[in-house]
Amino acid sequence: MPAPSQTTSELKRLAAMVCTGLCLPGAALAQDLDAEVMTAGTTLYQDFCAACHGEQGSGTSSGPPLATSSRLQNIDKLVGQTLDGGEYMPGFAFLLSDAEVSAVLTLIRNSWGNDFGPVQPTDAERLR
């Protein structure tokens, strides 16, 4: 039988282990994904992106799918594509503010099977 003080420290150690595995990611996610940002992102997506990328990010004949896409992982590439466009996609640098770019990309990165966390307005500012 361990002494009572040892039992207590063992319990604390276990609690810390459980929290590292379970508590922190959930807490961090709830903190990082601002509900207002996700709502703003949804509206922006419908207005500027859905015509080509599909209502649910499933793609159309005018744009590739964004759902369950590991290509959304790299923030710099993602912001660059959105600001400057690509071969067939128009750039949105002159249309969307830093806050709007980060909101729509936060929505895309955390919807339809994607779970990559937020994009910050400073990411858009940095890459303009």
Asked if 66 and 53 count as a contact pair (C-beta separation under 8 A), the reply is yes
Residue nearest to ligand HEC (CB): 86
Q: Which of 39, 15, 6, 62 is nearest to 110 (CA)?
A: 39
* Window 80-99: contact mask with ligand HEC (x via CB under 6 A): -xx--xxxxxx-x-------
How many Å is the Cα radius of gyration of the chain? 20
Instruction: Report the C-alpha gap between 2 and 10 in whole angstroms.
Output: 10
C-beta of 109: minimal distance to ligand HEC in Å? 9
Q: Which is nearer to ligand HEC, 8 or 62 (CB)?
A: 62
Q: Does 128 interact with ligand HEC (rule: CB under 6 A)?
A: no
Q: Which stretch binds ligand HEC (CB under 6 A): 14-22, 23-31, 32-40, 76-84?
A: 76-84
